[in-house]
Amino acid sequence: VYLTPKAVKTVQTLPQLQTKLAIAGAQEAAEKALLGENRAATGLKPESAKRVNECGKASNGNTADGGSSSGKALLLDLLCLCGGHSSDRNVGKACCKKCDGDGNNDEWNLNNDGKTRAEFIPSNCPKAPGHKRISQQAVEQAWRHFLTRTAIAKGSGFAYRNALGVLAGSGATGCDGHKASNGGPCVQYSDDAVVTGASPPTWLTNIRTAAQIRDGAEAAINEIKAIEHKLQAINNTLGSLLWQDEPIQNMQKTTAMTMITPGNTDCTKQKTNSSCTEKGCKWDSTDKSDGDFCKAKAETQATAAGGPGETPKDGAAETGCAKHGTDKTKCNTDKSFKSE
């Protein structure tokens, strides 16, 4: 009885777990993290064509507002860091050895779709060791490392804050993509994004969502496996109970079939010692094994009167000491008879 509700409760959790297995939401969130909220529906490009405005505005250190497109999409931030410049075709080398190859050896035109260029750059980057799939733990670990890099101010006077990349001189010109004068290829974030955390990068929010969904699916898979083990254990328990119950039932049936009631047996009809004793009677000969020696046991007469404290059976004496059977106490207190 206990196993049935336990099995039902276990199975009822399956639909909830199955909904967590759908990871389409994780895929969508990951695409938004890479390409932006519209997933580059009109191409991967910022709102304006001026690189310094989109990647990191000019600043003498008093402000750190970040670029207009900074933090919206990972690939846009990557283009701010590594995208080629008309005056410097080797900008890509700031990111990796081959990142200035054919595909990024010319100027990044912000008016054009930059998706192909953005995908070319990471294809040349070495793979990070360790994590094989996205997870909340991996994301937070990477984010902490990211913050340690943005915390290092840029420029000769360390006045340009919250930025990743390379700046020449004071850095006051901002992230214009050309390492000359006081600018360079970089991406700058606002204080709210990387200092206070009041408004984290949009791509980080989407990555966290994707990781949460993937972790939920992983946990659901493990729970489903645990449920399978529970159900198998319940099944095994039920099976063992059935096997244990069967011999008991068979034994009860056998006992019922072979049980003999001496009171229903005519002992005088038994002519052999073996049949007499099998019927619960007494064989009254010590040297004969057949003949008219089978008698009813004396105890059957006492049984008719009932056991101690029992009501006499049908046909037993209803008066005197006999009606009390073998109960000597009741016999002694009976006024109609007094035992010796």
**CB environment 72-110: b (16+ within 10 A), e (fewer):** bbbbbbbbbbbbbbeebeebbbbbbebbbeebbeebbeb
Helical packing angle, 202-258 and 3-12, nearest 10°: 160
Pairwise CA distance, residues 80 & 104, whole Å = 12
pLDDT in tens, the chain (340 residues): 455 566 556 556 666 666 666 777 899 999 999 999 999 898 999 999 999 999 999 998 888 999 999 999 999 999 999 999 988 878 888 888 899 998 999 999 999 999 999 999 999 988 877 767 889 999 999 999 999 999 999 999 999 999 999 999 999 999 999 988 899 999 999 999 999 999 999 999 999 999 999 998 887 777 777 777 777 776 777 667 666 655 555 555 544 444 444 455 788 888 888 888 888 888 888 888 888 888 887 644 444 444 444 444 444 445 555 555 556 566 556 555 444 4
Helical packing angle, 202-258 and 136-150, nearest 10°: 160
User: Which DSSP state fits 102?
Assistant: T
**CA of residue 24 relative to chain centroid, distance:** 19
Sorted by where each begins, the domain ranges of the chain are 36-200, 263-333
Centre a 10 Å sphere on the Cβ of residue 200 and count the other Cβ atoms it contains: 16
Hey, what are 79's tokens? 């283009």
Within 8 A by CB and 6+ apart from 208, the residues are: 136, 139
